[in-house]
Amino acid sequence: MLKSVPRGGLAAALVVVTLLTGCRDAATPAARWHAPETGGGSSSAAVPPDAVELRLAFAGDVHFMDRTRPLLRDPATAFGPIADTLRDADLTVVNLETAVTERGTPQPKTFHFRAPTTAYDAVRAAGVDAVSIANNHTLDYGQVGLLDTLDSARRAGFPVFGAGRDADQAYAPWLTTVRGVRIAVLGMSQISELASQWQATPTRPGIAMAFDTKRAVAAVAAARKQADLVIVYLHWGVEGNPCPSAQMKAFAPKLAAAGADIVVGTHAHTLLADGWLGRTYVHYGLGNFLWWSGLNSPDSGVLQLTVRGRQVIRNEFRPATVSDTGQPVLVTGAAERKIRDKLTVNQRCTGLSRTPG
């Protein structure tokens, strides 16, 4: 278990020191490599990246509103027992669906989410290594709120990706090295609400939007040249629909062709299913994770992938349910079977293969 303890605050060098693995970087969303890992004992850096097996974990939408806001009174325990599952991976990523700000003007939309800076303490304590902020709530409080989100992440030394002060930052991957494997993680949104106003431009802060297909595909292709493993975390889909839309099905193959090894998504507030596009692993939707409302499906879970080189060699979904506190709780027995049965049905509409091609 590489992440056996929650991690505390970071120094200005933005280097996370873990007890078991040595140094793991935690950078702001600039596309640059960071200090390599160091530590005692044998070094996996001498092992070719395609011979290293990594365990990755992904989960869905997270924020701290209404019933989940009080959880930040103790950030170290905000996620509850499921944090042990998140920590039990070499790399863990979720979607932080909120502006981290106390300022800004609410935008012309129905729902507005924001959280204090202790949100970063909570995700770090839960074992999360980085978060996507390419979603339809990061600019709920305008550019002021987005810039606060970026600034507070930098001060906290916590990696965020998928948005930036301009288009170059927004489309840049988060780059990290884990056990000698260079990993690039990109975030993008395919949600149409306020998309034209929220898209990052050369002179405007914003989100990396998947609607700019040329820019999105180029970003993946550029990441392919820099990394051994390329992951794209997308905010896409139709709320409440357990099947991928035609738009999603059209975009995923373009990401695969550009060099994405793993594509995972969120937004629909319900679980979608997974499979392969050739050698690219795709999970269309992870549902809600730490969630403010009981209005949506409570089905949730943690996606655990084992990767060797560029290939996902094992995929396992750990079913959970969003509890009355908003915290996801792993389930067993009849509750687990019910979720797995739903996923079996949902897989039929993905158009994906059950095994790599």
**Which residue type sits at 283?**
H
**Which percentage of the chain shows pLDDT scores above 70?**
87
Q: What is the mean pLDDT of residues 103-130?
A: 98
DSSP 10-65: --TT-EEEETTTEEEE---S-S---PPP--SS--GGGS-GGG-EEEEEEEEEE---
pTM: 0.89
Contact of 21 with 40, CB cutoff 8 Å: no
Reduced to 3 states (helix: H, G, I; strand: E, B; else coil), residue 346 is helix
Is residue 41 over pLDDT 80? no
pLDDT band at residue 3 using 50, 70 and 90 as cut-offs: low
Per cent of the chain over pLDDT 90 is 85
**In the predicted model, is pLDDT for residue 295 greater than 50?**
yes
Residue 17 confidence (pLDDT) above 80: no
- Is the pLDDT at 97 greater than 60, yes or no? yes
| Residue-level pLDDT at 46 | 67
Q: How confident is the model at residue 39 (pLDDT cuts 50, 70, 90)?
A: very low
Q: Using one digit for the tens of pLDDT, what is the confidence trace for 260-281?
A: 999 999 999 999 999 999 999 9
What does the angle CA 20 – CA 311 – CA 128 come to, to the nearest 5 degrees?
40
- pLDDT tier, 21 (very low <50, low <70, confident <90, very high otherwise): very low
> How confident is residue 294, by pLDDT bands cut at 50, 70 and 90?
confident
What is the rounded average pLDDT for all residues in the chain?
90
280, amino acid identity: T
CB 323 within 8 Å of CB 284: no
pLDDT (0 to 100) of residue 197: 97
pLDDT of residue 148: 98
Q: Stretch 165-170: mean pLDDT, rounded?
A: 98
State pLDDT tens for residues 60-80.
Answer: 999 999 999 999 999 999 999
Find the mean pLDDT for residues 241-259: 98
Q: What is the pLDDT of residues 121-139, one digit of tens each?
A: 999 999 999 999 999 999 9
Q: What pLDDT shows up at residue 28?
A: 40
CATH code linked to domain 15-347: 3.60.21.10
Q: Output the pLDDT for position 44.
A: 44
Kindly state the average pLDDT of the residues 141-170: 98
- Is the pLDDT score of 8 beyond 90? no
Nearest Cα neighbor of 265 from 182, 350, 322 is 350
Task: Spell out the domain ranges in the chain.
Answer: 15-347
Instruction: State residue 314's pLDDT score.
Output: 98
**pLDDT score, position 48:** 86
CA angle (138, 189, 306) in 5-degree steps = 105
Q: What is the pLDDT of residues 223-233, one digit of tens each?
A: 999 999 999 99
Radius of gyration of the chain from its Cα atoms, rounded to whole angstroms: 18
**pLDDT, average across residues 103-110:** 97
Per-residue pLDDT at 47 exceeds 90: no
